[in-house]
Chain A
């Protein structure tokens, strides 16, 4: 299913502090979730639009990158 592993990575890191931890162990995490280079890059750049295009669940994008949505 498109975006499943990417969504799973976001689900397991469903807040900005947890995403910070993901980034701190970036290579290990990307290997653990078997992310493609494209998916890893989208996370590294916090490119939310690209994450969505790659099939990440938008609710999980919102949780993981909540700080990018603050009004």
Chain B
């Protein structure tokens, strides 16, 4: 799922030919997610100088807080959406943190992450604000997508695999887990091409996902991505992590719209897990579930 402030900010005034397909895709994801009733959403997101600064910028950071304000204070006015408090899952988040450490990753952790469009835009549409705050817990996993140098796409993929391993060996009470990856696709933020969208690039990304060729994404360098699709497309890291955390899945593209109001190519893809345990329940997610 893509995020950009404008998707929420300009939602009401967005041209119907762009809003309608997105609205349908988001509504479908929301319905399917409600049906799956996950206990937890592991959300691969990224900061935009709200949680972190040049005083200290973690490459990876696990959100261990017991609750999360979505969006952060002040974000509601700018994003034009209500501010809601979602639960965290400190037990599971702490386990993921330790498991990643044991696996040779060295993430930072924070109980005070500040969410802007990164988490708020997907949650606005997955859980419409006119309904009560859902009971689902959020475990945010942040990756540096904005202050270069960034972790390589391959490293991000490996992190996603390691997160899945952590989930599979969680010793606590079993959780139903959905996975959300959000960011990109093409957009230029504060760059000379600010406002552009490269729909060809975006469609290529979706095609690779649909054809099961995510490996090809991993070989793209940040200079190549930034030249073709802007610095905002560097957020594809969150997608790559979600794909890896899903393990085996069937991708189901629901929408792609180059949203000029939000200066971003916006996609929604559901990832239906191939359930290796053979249990016949149909899973899904915004990212996915298991």
Q: Which residues in A have some Cβ–Cβ distance to B below 8 Å?
A: 4, 7-8, 11, 14, 48-49, 52, 57-63, 65, 69, 71
Contact = CB atoms under 8 A, between A and B. Distances in A.
Contact of B54 (A11, A49, A52, A58): A11
Query: Which of A4, A7, A59, A63 has the most CB atoms of chain B within a 10 A radius of its CB?
Result: A59
B172 interface: no
A7 B192 CA distance: 16
Contacts of A61: 190-191
Query: Which of B48, B190, B191 has the most CB atoms of chain A within a 10 A radius of its CB?
Result: B190
Interface of B: 48-49, 53-54, 146-147, 188-192, 194-195, 231
B45 to A, nearest CB: 15
User: Interface majority SS on A: helix, strand, loop or mixed?
Assistant: helix
A17 B192 CA distance: 22
Q: Which 3 pairs across A and B sit closest by C-beta, in order of nearness? A: A62-B190, A58-B190, A61-B190
Given A11-B49, A69-B195, 18 more contacts: A4-B54, A8-B54, A14-B49, A49-B192, A52-B190, A52-B192, A57-B190, A58-B191, A59-B48, A59-B49, A59-B146, A59-B189, A59-B190, A61-B190, A61-B191, A62-B190, A62-B194, A69-B190
A44 B45 CA distance: 35
Contacts of B191: 52, 58, 61
18 contacts: A7-B54, A11-B49, A11-B53, A11-B54, A49-B192, A52-B190, A52-B191, A57-B146, A58-B188, A58-B189, A58-B191, A58-B231, A59-B48, A59-B49, A61-B190, A62-B190, A69-B194, A69-B195
A44 to B, nearest CB: 18
Nearest to A50: B192
A8 B49 CA distance: 12
A48 B49 contact: no
